[in-house]
Structure 1
Amino acid sequence: MTLRLTIDRHDLHRIRWEEAPARALADGEARLRIVRVALTANNITYAAFGDAMHYWDFFPTGDTATGCLPVWGFGEAVESRHEAVKVGERFYGYFPLADELIVQPARANAGGFIDGAEHRRALHTIYNHYARCSADPGYRAEREAEQALLRPLFTTSFLIDDFLADNDAFGAAQLLLSSASSKTAYGTAFCLARRRGQAGAPRVVGLTSQANLGFTRTLGCYDEVIAYDNLAALDRTTRAVYVDFSGSASLRRAIHEGFGDRLAYSCSVGGTHWDELAAKGASRELPGPKPTLFFAPAQASKRIEQWGAAGLQQRLAEAWMAFMQPVTSAQPPWLRVVEHHGPQAAEAVYRALLDGTAAPQDGHIVSLAA
């Protein structure tokens, strides 16, 4: 039997666990047992943008009313009818919140393979690649949890920083990051902070809830941290860019109305306030620039054309290794790994993330095996 979590696309609180008989492999397929995956606010964003950004298309349920939640983590080959995948090999990549995934390896090489399943061919390669852990220079068995939790988020963080630098921060002297305690936001702030001291480097201002104010200030990667209920403290005379990790329509409006023409660019990244994402008219008739969704694969593709895939990976790996220092070694560490086992525990984490009650310093790793 196989087990997976399915979600009502129109009501993310409505979920259920589904069991089905395991099917036999066809020639050219491999069965990966999903060993451990990360659950973060980023996965809630995947669900919230599931239709608009095709996240539901990766692991179809066969029912257009439901979807299977995509997560990042590790799988182990337990059966293979493809010569490029050996039983016992471990892979890092994009999985459903389930206990197994059947893949059709294509374009296989020493580093891994692409899932060549028909329904995934039109989807972006960055989500279809499975990295062979034995050949991944950034892989450390003892750091699997941190890799599952932060590597996909940090890749987005790295590309946001690169996008802003590529555009000279749109001429702004300050960058406003909402949901500043979230992992993608503080990863971005870390990358931005590495530019401190460079000519024209903008100040980085974190916006967060009163409850997360203390934690966010301890990170040290923001020049200033301001609570949502104290937006009057923002310097509205200085040209700014808003990087929206929260998706809060009311906060977005407050920023746009507060800065008006002094808002140089409005960048939408995630949705920790996922329930406001679909608010009708949320982005209509806002002063200043129209909010623009940041799509990390587009920036990655641009850099691959300019630097080559190896060049991008080299730059990303260098930033990742630097990021791991405060994440694991700071006092207190930026991340506290919390392990969970079994579907009930996984569901509890999902609901905490959905309701916004998860502690920002916690990183949740899930294994469906009890």
Structure 2
Amino acid sequence: MSELQSFLINREEFADTRWEDTEVPSPGEGQVLLAIDSFALTANNITYAAFGDALQYWAFFPAPASRGILPVWGFAEVVESNCKGIETGERFYGFYPLASHLLVEPAQVSATSFTDHAEHRRPLPLIYNQYLRSSADALYEEGKEALQMLLRPLFTTSFLLDDFFADQAMFGAKNLHLTSASSKTAIGMAFCLQNNRANRDLDYEIIGLTSARNQAFVESLGCYDRVVSYDQVDAIDNTQPSAIVDFAGDGTLLRQLHSQLAPELRYSCMVGASHWDQRAGAGPGLDGPEPIMFFAPHQAEKRVGEWGGEEFQRRLSGQWRAFCAFANGWMEVDERHGREAIERTYAEVLGGDFSPRSGYVLSKLSCQ
């Protein structure tokens, strides 16, 4: 069997990376070894690094001191199983390390999924510890794995953001300002806000903020009511009650938006860090309400508790399929293979050097 290959990132300097090759672990009693087949790499993964300490993303897959293993969403196959109910050759979707293999300790094994009950993962959010059996996953479609890897985790956040804002009656805002409007999570939220508006007794406008370079693309999507480039922020209407949903993580931009919108700013929500290297620019003492970090698992747990797991999945599934049909019209899947491709793609995503239409799917480190 091949070595366990792990892509290690300097937790203080994300551009500093290296590979580590170690012996592939053998599963003990009750354990399963998964070979990671393919995974997506998006700006969302950089957000995991940017908030790796604050939101414990580095804790999922332990690494040597000062290093971290980036979490990714993808598919893996069982290569060895010492766990009843999980067979060699089965395929699972879930939260994996950017590595060739993952050793798990399955618990709550069912016809559809299992939860990794490894000791270091038990205190971490359940949504990241659950692995879905492809043969029984309601959202799985053979031949559409790329879309699932690229969009499912992002769209789940989009779905939960839309639900969170609707649950709070948009915090009284009439204008919703989404930064990094070309990012896939922002697009997903805008799609949900647009798609669900007719069924809500709420009056709101969806405003996308983006770079001049991406403005034409964002306008072409049709899910934003209005698109504004970053160099036009000072001219944004500040007479209407408003909210900010910050996917960019650019501190200077966030300060500028707060300053412009403060008189009627009702809520400021931080989600991502597309501009991770500029996230410190806001500093203390922003005008208006203090930004609050949105943590998707909290909203998911709230709704599962209120609706039940089956109803939660039903609602998510309906909007997911509609969004996939929408995304097919503009997204371009770029499949790449091997270590060098992973290094190159990571550098491109880290630097923001890619088209908003692009979706990167990477494989395959493991040789079973």
The alignment's TM-score, normalised by the length of structure 2, stands at 0.97
TM-aligned CA deviation for residue 261 of structure 1: 2.8
Task: Supply the distance in 2 between the matched residues of 1:23 and 1:70 (Cα, whole angstroms).
Answer: 19
Aligned to 1:251: 253
Greater shift, 203-212 or 15-24, is seen at 15-24
Aligned to 1:221: 223
Correspondence 1:104 to 2:105: yes
Task: Supply the distance in 1 between the matched residues of 2:335 and 2:162 (Cα, whole angstroms).
Answer: 30
TM-aligned CA deviation for residue 283 of structure 1: 4.2
Q: Which among 322, 331, 338 is matched to residue 335 of structure 1?
A: 331
- Three-state SS of the structure 1 residue aligned to 2:109 is strand
- The letter of the residue matching 2:319 is A
Q: How many residues align?
A: 363
Q: Which among 343, 362, 365 is matched to residue 366 of structure 1?
A: 362
Q: Confirm or deny: 8 A CA contact 1:283 1:291 kept in the other structure.
A: no
- The letter of the residue matching 1:270 is G
TM-aligned CA deviation for residue 305 of structure 1: 1.3
Aligned positions of 1:274-285 closer than 5 A: 274-279=276-281, 282-285=282-285
TM-aligned CA deviation for residue 260 of structure 1: 1.1
Aligned to 2:160: 159
Aligned to 2:142: 141
Task: Supply the distance in 2 between the matched residues of 1:118 and 1:295 (Cα, whole angstroms).
Answer: 23
TM-aligned CA deviation for residue 214 of structure 1: 1.0
- Three-state SS of the structure 2 residue aligned to 1:344 is helix
Q: Which among 199, 221, 237 is matched to residue 239 of structure 2?
A: 237
- The letter of the residue matching 1:2 is L
Aligned positions of 1:51-130 closer than 5 A: 51-61=53-63, 63-130=64-131
- Three-state SS of the structure 1 residue aligned to 2:345 is helix
Q: Confirm or deny: 8 A CA contact 1:84 1:105 kept in the other structure.
A: no
TM-aligned CA deviation for residue 259 of structure 1: 1.1
In the TM superposition, what whole-angstrom CA distance separates every residue of 1:196-219 from its partner, at most 9, and x where no partner exists?
344323100000011111111111
In the TM superposition, what whole-angstrom CA distance separates every residue of 1:87-146 from its partner, at most 9, and x where no partner exists?
110000000011111111111000110001000000010000000000112101211000
Correspondence 1:347 to 2:343: yes
Aligned to 1:290: 290
Aligned to 1:316: 316
TM-aligned CA deviation for residue 77 of structure 1: 0.5
Task: Supply the distance in 1 between the matched residues of 2:327 and 2:157 (Cα, whole angstroms).
Answer: 17
Greater shift, 353-362 or 197-206, is seen at 197-206
- The letter of the residue matching 1:165 is A
In the TM superposition, what whole-angstrom CA distance separates every residue of 1:219-257 from its partner, at most 9, and x where no partner exists?
100000111011134211111100000001111011100
- The letter of the residue matching 1:322 is A
Correspondence 1:262 to 2:264: yes
Q: Confirm or deny: 8 A CA contact 2:36 2:365 kept in the other structure.
A: no
Task: Supply the distance in 1 between the matched residues of 2:304 and 2:83 (Cα, whole angstroms).
Answer: 29
Task: Supply the distance in 2 between the matched residues of 1:67 and 1:201 (Cα, whole angstroms).
Answer: 44
- The letter of the residue matching 2:341 is A
In the TM superposition, what whole-angstrom CA distance separates every residue of 1:39-98 from its partner, at most 9, and x where no partner exists?
00000000010000000000001x230100000000000111111210110000000011
Task: Supply the distance in 1 between the matched residues of 2:312 and 2:26 (Cα, whole angstroms).
Answer: 39
Q: Confirm or deny: 8 A CA contact 2:156 2:316 kept in the other structure.
A: yes
Task: Supply the distance in 1 between the matched residues of 2:280 and 2:62 (Cα, whole angstroms).
Answer: 22
- Three-state SS of the structure 2 residue aligned to 1:19 is strand
TM-aligned CA deviation for residue 276 of structure 1: 1.9
Bigger relative contact order, structure 1 or 2 (CA pairs below 8 A, ≥6 apart): 2
In the TM superposition, what whole-angstrom CA distance separates every residue of 1:322-347 from its partner, at most 9, and x where no partner exists?
1111111xxxx221110010011011
Correspondence 1:6 to 2:8: yes
In the TM superposition, what whole-angstrom CA distance separates every residue of 1:294-323 from its partner, at most 9, and x where no partner exists?
011111111111101111111000110111
Query: How large is the RMSD of aligned CA atoms in angstroms?
Result: 1.1
TM-aligned CA deviation for residue 368 of structure 1: 3.1
Task: Supply the distance in 1 between the matched residues of 2:365 and 2:66 (Cα, whole angstroms).
Answer: 27
Task: Supply the distance in 2 between the matched residues of 1:150 and 1:95 (Cα, whole angstroms).
Answer: 16
Structure 2 unaligned spans of 5+: none
- The letter of the residue matching 2:182 is S
Aligned to 1:300: 300
Task: Supply the distance in 2 between the matched residues of 1:102 and 1:196 (Cα, whole angstroms).
Answer: 44
Correspondence 1:195 to 2:191: no
In the TM superposition, what whole-angstrom CA distance separates every residue of 1:123-170 from its partner, at most 9, and x where no partner exists?
010000000000112101211000000000000000000000000001
Correspondence 1:356 to 2:363: no
Q: Confirm or deny: 8 A CA contact 2:26 2:33 kept in the other structure.
A: no
Task: Supply the distance in 1 between the matched residues of 2:67 and 2:75 (Cα, whole angstroms).
Answer: 24
Aligned to 1:36: 38
